[in-house]
Amino acid sequence: MNDNFIISKPVSKDDFFQYFDLRWRILRKPLNQKKGSERDNLENNCHHICIKDQNSKIVAVGRIHFISNEKKQAQIRYMAVEEKFQKQGLGQKILNELEAIALLNNVGFIFLEARENAVEFYKKNGYSIKKKSHILYDLIQHWTMYKKI
């Protein structure tokens, strides 16, 4: 990742608009899902991370939340990088930042549900497959993956 990109947390209303819009465009629109389908009911209890380009446009996002009653566990969800910026290290940067937040909060174990196309990305970042998981919208096979940190 070069100096043209800045990693931060979304703060303003516009940040959050862009943040959820990117999620929707990358993760839901291609599956013909409506706006709103890119969110769940945990959004207010998560850590959100984004990367902005030199025009302050959000081009990569990711989220982590802690599992209630299981303080040592966390789940990463909704990782998405703008198509033209994929495979340039931005996803890895977001993942590293989410893991740093987990460490700061004494989390020892992170899991996630990886889309089939993203399994190699997570393997490169130290995640292992635990089991075959659900099929999203009857279209995309997911794999449960985990990492001890």
Distance CA 64, CA 116 (A): 20
Q: Does 91 bind ligand COA (CB under 6 A)?
A: yes
Q: How many CB atoms lie within 10 A of CB 145?
A: 23
Q: What are the beta bridge partners of residue 77?
A: 63
What's the half-sphere exposure (Cβ side, CA atoms, 13 Å) at 47?
20
Least distance from ligand COA to the Cβ atom of residue 138, Å: 17
Q: Does 64 bind ligand COA (CB under 6 A)?
A: no
**φ, ψ (nearest 5 deg) of residue 129:** -80, 135
Among 33, 73, 92, 141, binds ligand COA (CB under 6 A): 92
Q: Does 114 bind ligand COA (CB under 6 A)?
A: yes
Among 35, 39, 124, 130, binds ligand COA (CB under 6 A): 124
Cβ contacts of 149 within 8 Å, gap of 6 or more: 99, 102, 103, 107, 108, 109, 110
Site for ligand COA in 18-57 (CB under 6 A): 26-27
Q: Does 79 bind ligand COA (CB under 6 A)?
A: yes
The letter for the amino acid at 32 is: N
Among 22, 59, 64, 90, binds ligand COA (CB under 6 A): 90
Q: Does 121 bind ligand COA (CB under 6 A)?
A: yes
Interacting residues toward ligand COA by CB under 6 A: 26-27, 79-81, 86-92, 114-115, 117-118, 120-121, 124
